[in-house]
């Protein structure tokens, strides 16, 4: 079963500044264009954990806040300013566990057409 696309964005400097403040991650490549360019980036990039947080929002959108039990991701490309983040997922497995159904999900996040992360999640839906 495919899950409907979840879209967030575009990523802008305000999003990066707010995430930096919330996460206490003020690494300069996320906030200072000169620092980002000094290491070969075109401009500031999004925090990897920001893209994971957006995937978490997708899980909440699809299943609700309390149902998500695990989320694990692997980062593969940076998020750039202006990117629209699209999260997609599919149910890889389903099993009955007492009075609930547990789903294993395969997840992918894209920034425009670039794959930025892949992952798995477990959700548990009470009967």
> Which residues form the domain of 120?
2-126
Indicate which CATH number applies to the domain containing 16.
3.10.129.10
What's the rounded Cα separation, in Å, for the pair 9 and 113?
14
Number of domains in the chain: 1
Per-residue model confidence (pLDDT) at position 66? 85
- CB burial of 58-68 (b: ≥16 within 10 Å; e: otherwise) equals bbeebbeeebb
Q: What is the pLDDT of residues 56-109, one digit of tens each?
A: 999 999 998 888 999 999 999 999 999 999 999 999 999 998 999 999 999 999
What's the token pair of residue 103?
A: 């789903």
31 strand-pairing partners: none
Q: Using the 8-state DSSP alphabet, how is residue 47 labeled?
A: -
């Amino acid at each position: 079963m495919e899950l409907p696309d979840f879209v967030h964005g575009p990523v802008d400097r305000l999003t990066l500044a707010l995430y930096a403040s919330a996460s206490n991650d003020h690494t300069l490549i996320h906030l200072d264009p000169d620092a980002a360019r000094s290491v070969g980036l075109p401009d500031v990039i999004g925090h990897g954990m920001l893209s994971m947080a957006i995937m978490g929002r997708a899980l909440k959108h699809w299943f609700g806040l309390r149902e998500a039990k695990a989320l694990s991701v692997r980062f593969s490309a940076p998020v750039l300013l202006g990117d629209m983040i699209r999260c997609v997922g599919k149910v890889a497995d389903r099993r009955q566990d007492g009075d609930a159904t547990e789903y294993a999900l395969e997840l992918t996040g894209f920034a425009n057409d670039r794959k930025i992360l892949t992952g798995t999640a477990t959700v548990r839906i009470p009967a």
